Chain A
Amino acid sequence: MREIILAKYGEIALKGLNKHTFEDMLVKNVKRRLKKFGQFEYFRAQSTLYIQPEDENIDMDLVMEAMEKIFGIAKLCRAVEVEKDFGKIAEKGIEYVSEALEDADTFKVEAKRADKRFPMKSPEICSRLGEIILERFPHLTVDVKNPNVTVTVEIREKGAYIHAVKVDGAGGMPVGSSGRAMLLLSGGIDSPVAGYMMAKRGVHLCAVHFESPPYTSERARMKVEKLASIMARYCGQIKFFCVPFTEIQEKIRENCSEEYFTIIMRRLMMRVAQRLCGENDISALVTGESIAQVASQTMAAMVCTDAVCKMPVFRPVIGMDKKEIIEISRKIGTFETSIEPYEDCCTVFTPKHPKTKPILENVEAEEEKYDFSELVDKAVHETRIYNIDAC
């Protein structure tokens, strides 16, 4: 029995003349993601990508799991391929969908006859197949408006495909179709979710992480790398920038007033991140900030942070409650890792009473007490860059 996966496009289907660019991007992403499972044959027709394994030993459950995480796909079906012969379609097709039919009360049959050389017309296929199904599953009744199960028969160039179960794809746009952005990845719950949401809109993500040994541990960095590898299941391979940040933090602490510490630190992070973006053809920053969540995430604080940014800063979770963010982080599988207790090693540097409504001029005056430009250069220069693949 030869199985095939049908991936129905989401928004791409609605695109105009540039549709094929998005399609190409999606196919490229799918190919890259499925490579580790084995060889596949790909073909496209009518806003659907057909993925057929060339080897019968490929574990299709794992393939489906991976496919469900690829952006740009609205629906996924697993179908059986049979010869274009009604007898075979009825026999093997019904057997393939029998499990779904046994669990249902109502059903209907849908036929798509793309290959017009097939002798039976669509309504005829539907009614004859419906009859046979009713005979074999006497507990079923036909409901054409609201069936529990829709058995679909597609007659195409290469063969006939029969399927009954559709699952939701990840939706969104193919990763890479909307440019490159740099995610500030801290190790908390919010930033992976922010990254996921941008990737969903087709943004190719890179991630920057600031580490401060010995104040933060190797385990803290390993945790962030783990988060990136979980995100990569959705976003594809992530280019990871690990910035040594200890010296900058120590200098802020030595030179600037404590209440401004967090805001100045964030401004310097933005500076370093921006420089890395410039050197790597990345056009925007992404953070996991949610307004009013903590002292450094007030509107006034963001105004001060963004004052150093020459590129857009996207904050896709800005209007979400923690509960909503956690829900997504559980769904994408980053939550369990995010709550590992390593990130707080940096508490040495958090002020007891941070400014919640900092004024830009005051922040700038405070920051001018030390010339950070050399340290920013050094941090950029010493940043380690490596790729992280999906785990």
Chain B
Amino acid sequence: MHYLDNAATTKPSVACVKAVNHALCENFGNPSSLYRLGIDAEKAINEARENIAAVLGCDMGEIYFTSCATESSNTVIFGAAENFGKRKKKAVTTTVEHPSVAHCFDKLEKAGFEVVRISPDEKGEIKAEEIISAVDENTFLVSCMLVNNETGYILPVSEAFKRIKKKYPECITHCDGVQGFLKIPFKVKSLYADCISLSGHKVHASKGVGALYVKKGVRIAPYIIGGGQEKNFRSGTECVPLISGFGATVKELSLTIDERYKQALELKKYLAEKLESCKGIKLNSKENSSPYIVSVGVENIKAETLLHYLEAREIYVSSGSACSKGKRSSVLESFRIPGKYLDSTIRVSFCEFNTKEDIDALVTEIKKAQNNLAKIKK
């Protein structure tokens, strides 16, 4: 099997499985219980909190656990709107955000907010300047992802947020850091982000757990209310097993960020070189994008067809982004990918378990597919 879809999800690490198992079988108390069993469970989630805080360079009190990054982003966007929406009516974001962010802004817009969406220029680049100049004193929130999930493009978050915070300290800066976390080195201070959304299952933890960094002093209204867990910011009994697993995997991966980055970069270069000689193939990803995600356009073959062709040979990639289940991607259009590649783009995404053999298999089969599959008519 050649699993090359690590931006969709990753295989849980051994450390994660072990931690989940331990929490399920032994450490099963409710973290809110006053007796020992509860305290042990609370300790386990705080250990995970510490591990994530250490990677982000923040205080562990600034990390909240959620069910997924979608929940984290929804919390920030709607929570900020609830707190500041009466006074300020404007929010700024980009046209290349993940649906978990984009659809929240669509909803705000329907509720009467002004939403400014910055799109890439003719070269497919988003300029920090554009984001900064869209923000004014009436803006309560700016949200910008760190690494685009479809192309690997790295957005100028740090540059934009730094200057926005300097000029409008009250404006909340939110970053969807899912595809960058533990892959691209960053700290909350270097990003100048007030809030960062993170996901567990993209970094070898389990599905069903995410995290949200909220800078101390930043006021976001809670999205889920109830028993007052997570300092009354995210109610609901904490999912101790998945959180423990998330913590364990973060601890392990935090030691190898640079090493894995180099490995991914090598794989990306190797893939690019191999594809250079192929006709009708275009690398949509830029050189300075995340090495973990490579977007490849294969002329005249429908991405979904190619995906299933590769699947039959145990090579797993995705078409567009896996979250949209086959729907056409407006994000690729936004990045100025030429029309003929819009329906013909697959996404290859790496993790540390991938090798050059995976890429050899992929390229060989893509070449075969070009010969064997019926082409889209022009």
A348 and B302 within 8 A (CB): yes
The answer to the question of B74 belonging to the interface, with a C-beta cut-off of 8 Å to chain A, is no
- Type the 1/0 row for A208-226, where 1 means its CB is closer than 8 Å to any CB of B: 0000011111110000000
Nearest CB on B from A190, distance (A): 21
B374 and A349 within 8 A (CB): yes
**Cα-based distance from A249 to B305 in the complex (angstroms):** 14
A214 and B374 within 8 A (CB): no
- Type the 1/0 row for B305-323, where 1 means its CB is closer than 8 Å to any CB of A: 1111101100000000000
A348 and B376 within 8 A (CB): yes
Question: Please, which residues of chain A bring their CB within 8 A of the CB of B225?
Answer: none
Q: Which of A214, A218, A253, A258 contacts B305 (CB 8 A)?
A: A214
**Cα-based distance from A250 to B375 in the complex (angstroms):** 10
**Cα-based distance from A243 to B376 in the complex (angstroms):** 23
The answer to the question of B231 belonging to the interface, with a C-beta cut-off of 8 Å to chain A, is no
The answer to the question of A342 belonging to the interface, with a C-beta cut-off of 8 Å to chain B, is yes
Q: Which of A214, A219, A345, A347 contacts B312 (CB 8 A)?
A: A214
A341 and B327 within 8 A (CB): yes
A214 and B377 within 8 A (CB): no
**Cα-based distance from A54 to B305 in the complex (angstroms):** 54
Question: Please, which residues of chain A bring their CB within 8 A of the CB of B311?
Answer: 214
B contacts, CB < 8 Å to A: 302, 304-309, 311-312, 325-327, 373-377
Nearest CB on A from B370, distance (A): 13
What is the interface residue range for chain A against chain B?
10 to 19
A217 and B308 within 8 A (CB): yes
B377 and A258 within 8 A (CB): yes
B374 and A345 within 8 A (CB): no
Question: Please, which residues of chain B bring their CB within 8 A of the CB of A215?
Answer: 302, 305, 308, 374
Q: Which 4 A-B pairs have the closest CB atoms?
A: A214-B308, A214-B309, A215-B305, A345-B304
Nearest CB on A from B302, distance (A): 6
B325 and A341 within 8 A (CB): yes
A352 and B377 within 8 A (CB): yes
Question: Please, which residues of chain B bring their CB within 8 A of the CB of A249?
Answer: 374
A214 and B373 within 8 A (CB): yes
B374 and A250 within 8 A (CB): yes
**Cα-based distance from A250 to B372 in the complex (angstroms):** 10
A residues 1-24 with Cβ under 8 Å of B? none
Question: Please, which residues of chain A bring their CB within 8 A of the CB of B325?
Answer: 219, 341
A residues 367-383 with Cβ under 8 Å of B? none
A347 and B302 within 8 A (CB): yes
Question: Please, which residues of chain B bring their CB within 8 A of the CB of A216?
Answer: 308
Using CB atoms, name the residue of chain B closest to A349: B374
**Cα-based distance from A217 to B308 in the complex (angstroms):** 7
Identify which of B307, B308, B309, B375 gathers the most chain A CB atoms within 10 Å of its CB: B308
Question: Please, which residues of chain A bring their CB within 8 A of the CB of B309?
Answer: 214
**Cα-based distance from A44 to B376 in the complex (angstroms):** 61
Nearest CB on A from B321, distance (A): 14
Question: Please, which residues of chain B bring their CB within 8 A of the CB of A342?
Answer: 326
Question: Please, which residues of chain A bring their CB within 8 A of the CB of B377?
Answer: 258, 351-352
Q: 21 A-B contacts, Cβ less than 8 Å apart?
A: A213-B308, A213-B312, A214-B307, A214-B308, A214-B311, A214-B312, A216-B308, A217-B304, A217-B307, A217-B308, A217-B326, A250-B374, A341-B325, A341-B326, A341-B327, A342-B326, A345-B302, A345-B304, A345-B326, A347-B302, A348-B302
Nearest CB on A from B300, distance (A): 10
Question: Please, which residues of chain B bring their CB within 8 A of the CB of A348?
Answer: 302, 305, 374-376
Nearest CB on B from A197, distance (A): 30
Using CB atoms, name the residue of chain A closest to B308: A214
A residues 320-349 with Cβ under 8 Å of B? 341-342, 345, 347-349
**Cα-based distance from A213 to B304 in the complex (angstroms):** 10
- Type the 1/0 row for A341-369, where 1 means its CB is closer than 8 Å to any CB of B: 11001011101100000000000000000
Question: Please, which residues of chain B bring their CB within 8 A of the CB of A345?
Answer: 302, 304-305, 326
**Cα-based distance from A310 to B228 in the complex (angstroms):** 71
Using CB atoms, name the residue of chain A closest to B302: A348
Using CB atoms, name the residue of chain A closest to B310: A214
**Cα-based distance from A342 to B327 in the complex (angstroms):** 9
New A-B pairs, 11, CB < 8 Å, besides A214-B307, A214-B373, A348-B305: A214-B309, A214-B312, A215-B302, A216-B308, A217-B326, A341-B325, A345-B326, A347-B302, A348-B375, A349-B374, A352-B377
Nearest CB on B from A262, distance (A): 13
Question: Please, which residues of chain A bring their CB within 8 A of the CB of B306?
Answer: 214
Nearest CB on A from B180, distance (A): 30
Question: Please, which residues of chain A bring their CB within 8 A of the CB of B373?
Answer: 214
Question: Please, which residues of chain A bring their CB within 8 A of the CB of B326?
Answer: 217, 341-342, 345
Question: Please, which residues of chain A bring their CB within 8 A of the CB of B375?
Answer: 348
Using CB atoms, name the residue of chain B closest to A218: B308
Nearest CB on B from A318, distance (A): 30
**Cα-based distance from A249 to B374 in the complex (angstroms):** 9
**Cα-based distance from A214 to B375 in the complex (angstroms):** 13
Nearest CB on B from A322, distance (A): 22
Nearest CB on A from B306, distance (A): 8
**Cα-based distance from A348 to B372 in the complex (angstroms):** 14
Using CB atoms, name the residue of chain A closest to B301: A348
**Cα-based distance from A351 to B376 in the complex (angstroms):** 10
A253 and B374 within 8 A (CB): yes
Nearest CB on A from B313, distance (A): 10
**Cα-based distance from A216 to B305 in the complex (angstroms):** 7
Question: Please, which residues of chain B bring their CB within 8 A of the CB of A349?
Answer: 374
Question: Please, which residues of chain B bring their CB within 8 A of the CB of A218?
Answer: 308
**Cα-based distance from A258 to B306 in the complex (angstroms):** 22
Nearest CB on A from B353, distance (A): 25
